[in-house]
Amino acid sequence: MAPSARPQSWRPESWRDHAAEQQPDWEDAGALETALKELRNLPPLVFAGEARALKAALGEAARGEAFVLQAGECAESFDNLSADAIRDALKIILQMSVVLTYAAGLPVIKVGRIAGQFAKPRSEALERLGDQELPSFRGHMVNGIDFDAEARRPDPQRLVRAYHQASSTLNLLRAFTKGGFADLTQVHMWNREFVAASPQGRRYEDIAAAIDRALRFMAACGIDLKSDVALHQVDFYTCHEALILGYEEALTRQDSLTGEFYDCSAHLLWAGERTRQAGGAHLEFLSGIHNPVACKVGPAATPAEVLALCDALDPDGEPGRLSLIARMGAGAVREALPPLVAAVRDAGRAVVWVCDPMHGNTFLSSNGLKTRRFEDIVEEIKGFFAVHEALGTFPGGVHLELTPDDVTECLGGVDAVLDGQLDVSYRTLCDPRLNGNQSLELAFEIGELLQAWVRR
Ligand code: PEP
Ligand code: CO
């Protein structure tokens, strides 16, 4: 094996010698150290072998042989930890993945923004309301959302609580995905009541019925369906933005098999658009862990910057190691993305290109709520596919913010959520999410694009 081009000086704590954006002002250094020590002594949440399995799967996506569905909350909430919430979050992703697999005949790699997505970067460190100014809400891993001084004070014990919530969430996800719930014979059960009655819910039922028929056909041909694990279990991975580096460092462990370091807080970690500075602490941290990693890239990114990201995060050119998540905006994607994709292609880099059609399409509605238009989201994904089609590269996946619930946060879709209706059920802690209906509708849109791509 060729020697690794990674710097040998990396340690889980070496990010501390670099400038770290977006870190909370914890105030009490002793309380922070107590929390981090507690985390260092707790067991890992995921295992190195699982992170390696995801990297191998993403390697297939880098070769155009699988499609990534990365989806979930913008910001998970400490107040939403119930079996039903976890089951429903899984259901919508399983449903979407059935739609995509059925349309394209490609394996879908399922990666939830779940079990750790508790920290948010903010454009303003302070929020002003009337004549009071308080620290901005940075996610439940850091502080509370209520606008009062006590809630907004960063509390290091929240890091420990985030770990325990992630642990409970993962425990149930593992039970659901390996214990029968994700069995392909249960495909009808993943349709939720309020979605089932909608046009896309009925369209989903048609696919579910076709899968039933296919399974009966195979059984009738004498194929032993009972013993085939792939029909009864799914691989479901977790990811979050590696933002609060003390938390990520404390959960980084050396794998006993390989001696390599893995951040065992999730299978995949990414750097956000606000924390991907060259030479900054976030890239330094991600450069040394052996998990698959990702980085957001917005419309201002230059080809040179993106190639530098590849060098920093994937010096060994390992397929599946690096995903680049383009978040350009519907109006910019067709101009801003091609030079980046072309530069990466011409450098012979095997990255997975993923489309985040959410974060470049956010604006304020007439009543001041952050929202996104369903049609802009679809338009950005269409632009993303068109760019890859023109350059002969693979549109490797999508990165979505969604909830299984019947919320009114994004405009449009078949139930035509209108501007004046956003406050009917606007519940997000941070960015506007697609609701269950909109998510399934989007899966059908993406399925059509992917099918056209496969048949081209
Ligand atoms: C996010 O994914 O929630 C986010 C903050 O994205 P970005 O870094 O692309 O703005
Ligand atoms: Co977001």
Instruction: Give the pLDDT confidence score for residue 297 in this predicted structure.
Output: 98
Collapsed DSSP state (helix, strand, coil) of residue 453? helix
The DSSP annotation for 93-132 comes to HHHHHHHHHHHH-S-EEEEEE-SS------S-SEEEETTE
Is residue 7's pLDDT more than 90? no
Average pLDDT over residues 380-401: 98
Q: Which residue out of 117, 431, 434 has the highest number of ligand 1 atoms within 8 Å of its CB and is therefore the one to mutate?
A: 431
66 in Cβ contact with 108 (< 8 Å): yes
Q: Is 74 in the pocket of ligand 1 (CB under 6 A)?
A: yes
Structure confidence at residue 193 as a pLDDT band (50, 70, 90): confident
Residue from 76, 111, 241 whose mutation best tests the ligand 1 pocket (most atoms within 8 A of CB): 241
Please state, in angstroms and rounded to a whole number, the distance separating the CA atoms of residues 77 and 67. Answer: 28
How far is ligand 2, taken at its centre, from the CA of residue 207, in Å?
Answer: 31
Question: pLDDT (tens digit, 9 = 90+) per residue, 124-173?
Answer: 999 999 999 999 999 999 999 999 999 999 999 999 999 999 999 999 99
**Residue range 294-302: mean pLDDT, rounded:** 98
Lookup result for tokens 């338009």: 379
Q: What is the pTM of this model?
A: 0.97
| pLDDT tens-digit series, residues 21-80 | 999 999 999 999 999 999 999 999 999 999 999 999 999 999 999 999 999 999 999 999
DSSP letter at 186 equals G
Q: What is the pLDDT of residue 2?
A: 64
Q: Angle of helix 29-40 relative to helix 157-178, nearest 10 degrees?
A: 30
Burial of 65-86, coded b for 16+ CB within 10 Å and e otherwise, reads ebbbbbbbbbbbbbebeeeebb
For Cα atoms 244, 161, 35, give the angle at the middle one, nearest 5 degrees. Answer: 65
- Single out the residue of 433, 444, 373 nearest to residue 114, CA to CA: 433
**Among protein residues, the one whose CA lies closest to atom 4 of ligand 1:** 272
Mean pLDDT of the chain: 96
Interval 289-302 mean pLDDT: 98
